[in-house]
Amino acid sequence: MLPSFKALSSRRHFLHRLGLAGLASSLPICRLLSARAAVFAASASLPASSGFRNRAPLAANAFYFLPLGSIRPTGWLESQLRIQANGLSGHLGETWADVGPDSGWLGGKGEAWERGPYYLDGLVPLAWLLDDARLKAKAQPFLDWTLDHQAPNGMIGPASNNDWWPRFVMLKVLTQYQELTGDNRVIPVMDKYLRHQLAELPQRPLRDWGKFRWQDELLSVLWLYNRTGSAYLLDLARLLHKQGYDWRSQYANFQYTERITSDYLKLKEGDGLKDLALATHGVNNGQAVKTGPVWSLVSGSPDDRAAVLTMISELNKYHGLPNGMFSCDEHLAGLDPSQGSELCTVVEYMYSLENSLAIVGDPRLGDRLEKLAFNALPGTFTDDMWAHQYNQEPNQVECSLHQKPWTTDGPESNLYGLEPNFGCCTANFNQGWPKFTNSLFMRSGAEESAHESDDGLVVAAYAPCEVRTTVRGTAVHVVEETSYPFRGAIRLVINPAAPVKFPLHLRIPAWAAGASIRINGEAAPQPVPESFARVERMWKAGDRVEIVFPMKPRISRWFHDSIAVERGPLVFSYGIGEDWVKLRDRGMTADWQVYLTSPWNYALKVDADEPEKSISVTEEAVGEQPFARKDTPVKLSVKARRLDAWRAEDGAADPLPQSPVASGQPEETLTLIPYAAAKLRVTAFPQCKS
Ligand SMILES: [Zn+2]
């Protein structure tokens, strides 16, 4: 019989506090080993329904993901996932050969690199979160082929391509699939593969994409270590770090502060993928945001853990855009809101933020995650999710075949279509909504956290869902009802199987001044913006937590002192009149150009000190397509004047004039709608002189 969890927990806490160096100097080695073995047993004995924590000697997370499948989407979020399932995600292999029946990841002669794993990385959680038999049946043959065709030396995947990089993605797929199904093939296959990789890496080291994305494999290595405790996995973690690119140094002394051009990269010399191009590549940087936190679990360094905030701050300072993204079309592209961001970068940045939030526990990471999820992600798809862009722009006045303003991308980059510019996003976008859903609730760290006996639930991001998990040994069902981000009211109903005491941590966004929390109708202390509000009590079935975030319009400052209008986590845009012109059919979908049918060059007249006085709000019901323009749930009205000198050339708005600006044109009332609803849009506006 195992000792009680509490006894082992406090021992683990003791070991954690000391650190390994402290242990080595203060305890005989045999005692160290037996103490660590006991810790391993403690972790392995945790019930699967509440998930795994980090094994010693890994540092603790602030929060832990719930096992995939614990959180189910409801309300508008379920509608959004169903739109995805009924769109390209649920039919991709029927119309796009790269993930079709001849895929190399099904043993065929077709595409054998990243596209199969990319697709599954989103299809697997989508299928199981919706409990959709049709989608599961699409994913299962890929999973079976990978699990049943491991080479005798441990290698997985198509034999025709031995690149490590696409296998990083397939490992992420396998970890999700194992959590969802418990399929007992997964862990032995991963274990044999990673032992092979550890033996092989010294002769065949990480290169190009793998070298710059090593932290994504590290997540899967640590996932397996938390389940098996095999020490070689920590050796592999250190080898990945050693062979991988040093992102922390890049951002400690950030040199890439300007728009990166192809001349600068000298791509035209045909040198292939040089390190300079890879270090300034948008998707690589989006993935790299998580590097510091993930590596900090091995290094134990608080500086590694904090590096995520430095990275985001530098990206924002030199390449930040009002939709929450940094520019990358496809290299870092500066502050002009006519520059684009690649869809792969949106979903990878989200995934980095989700993992960083879990490890670090900083509420600002949740604010940015919501900004991407509710703006940049839906803004780059058609309403039915049958077509997407490669690059989206905050100021996007035309979607057509044009070369300007992209740093290194091609002329199809902002068309809505099947695979505009390049097909990576077509395969990779699928992970965005399902992984966001899985990040809404987390568990708070236990004995290692700031609170000695924490072990509660965390609301990390807000959207309608329900959660089934185990807290302190008691089954707990939570229902979250809300129309957030379109409204500020959120209701949680907590239903434990028996009364149980635990803390609930509620993320209070930085913008949420004046927020309130009521428990069963009684006011709780007023929460502080940019924090987690902690509500600890003996929870009983039917307990209600009601949160209200005041949704006042506010403005933010961007390129050339331009302004963007925000309300809650939503960014608002002027929706330019759109004319959708089909460029060509693409199997079950099509490629579209979008041309404007109305003026767009407006300067806004708002009171910067009290923006809510010059911006009025209209709310309507949330429809089946929450981000569609035709029935958008919230609109803003604001005064504006045309600005004749601000023009567009070759499909892109010229750089914004420096604000404030003067205009002799008559005053008009402009309607602003959520960023995602406006496929042609102006988001960063010049500000009119008063
Ligand atoms: Zn892409």
DSSP secondary structure letters along 518-568: EETTEEPPPPPSSEEEEEEEEE-TTEEEEEE----EEEEE-GGG-EEEEET
**CA nearest 511: which of 443, 571, 464, 436?**
571
Cα(136) to centroid of ligand 1, in Å? 24
Cα(428) to centroid of ligand 1, in Å? 7
Angle between helices 343-360 and 291-299 (to 10 degrees): 30
551 class by beta-carbon count within 10 Å (0-12 exposed, 13-18 middle, 19+ buried): buried
Cα(407) to centroid of ligand 1, in Å? 15
Mean pLDDT of the region 450-478:
90
Cα(281) to centroid of ligand 1, in Å? 11
- Contact call for residues 282 and 330 (beta carbons, < 8 A): yes
How many other C-beta atoms are found inside a 10 Å radius of the C-beta of residue 259? 19
Cα(423) to centroid of ligand 1, in Å? 7
- Contact call for residues 186 and 179 (beta carbons, < 8 A): no
CA dist., res. 312 & res. 297, Å (int): 20
Give the pLDDT confidence of 299-324 residue by residue, as tens digits: 999 999 999 999 999 999 999 999 99
Cα(346) to centroid of ligand 1, in Å? 9
Contacts of 83 (CB under 8 A, 6+ apart): 383, 384, 385, 625
DSSP, res 593: E
Cα(339) to centroid of ligand 1, in Å? 16
Q: How confident is the model at residue 268, as a pLDDT?
A: 66
CA dist., res. 673 & res. 574, Å (int): 6
Cα(528) to centroid of ligand 1, in Å? 38
**CA nearest 548: which of 507, 491, 463?**
491
Given a cut of 70, whether residue 237 has pLDDT beyond it is yes
Q: How confident is the model at residue 271, as a pLDDT?
A: 67
Mean pLDDT of the region 219-241:
98
CA atoms within 13 A on the CB side of 66: 27
Contacts of 523 (CB under 8 A, 6+ apart): 516, 517
Give the dihedral of Cα atoms 444, 449, 450, 456; nearest 10 deg.
Answer: 20
DSSP, res 48: G
Given a cut of 60, whether residue 450 has pLDDT beyond it is no
Which residues are found with C-beta within 5 Å of the ion, ligand 1? 342, 344, 424-425
What is the dihedral sign for C-alpha 507, 510, 511, 513?
Answer: positive
**CA nearest 286: which of 195, 351, 193?**
351
Q: How confident is the model at residue 445, as a pLDDT?
A: 83
Given a cut of 80, whether residue 248 has pLDDT beyond it is yes
Cα(403) to centroid of ligand 1, in Å? 17
Given a cut of 90, whether residue 180 has pLDDT beyond it is yes
pTM of the model: 0.93
Kindly give the pairing relationship between strand 500-508 and strand 457-459.
Answer: parallel
Cα(599) to centroid of ligand 1, in Å? 31
In single-letter form, the type of residue at position 243 comes to Q
Report phi then psi at 516, rounded to 5: -135, 155
Percent of the chain exceeding pLDDT 70 equals 91
Given a cut of 80, whether residue 639 has pLDDT beyond it is yes
Cα(422) to centroid of ligand 1, in Å? 7
- In this prediction, residue 18 has a pLDDT band, given cuts at 50, 70 and 90, of very low
**CA nearest 629: which of 661, 677, 567?**
677
CA distances from 387 to 263, 327, 371, 429, 591 (A): 32, 21, 22, 11, 7
CA dist., res. 528 & res. 231, Å (int): 42
CA distances from 40 to 15, 46, 57, 229, 325 (A): 12, 10, 10, 7, 40
Mean pLDDT of the region 345-365:
98
Cα(424) to centroid of ligand 1, in Å? 4
Give the pLDDT confidence of 548-604 residue by residue, as tens digits: 999 999 999 999 999 999 999 999 999 999 999 999 999 999 999 999 999 999 999
Q: How confident is the model at residue 464, as a pLDDT?
A: 98
Cα(2) to centroid of ligand 1, in Å? 49
152 class by beta-carbon count within 10 Å (0-12 exposed, 13-18 middle, 19+ buried): exposed
In single-letter form, the type of residue at position 179 comes to E
CA distances from 65 to 209, 303, 435, 534 (A): 27, 23, 11, 18
Cα(453) to centroid of ligand 1, in Å? 43
Mean pLDDT of the region 15-26:
29
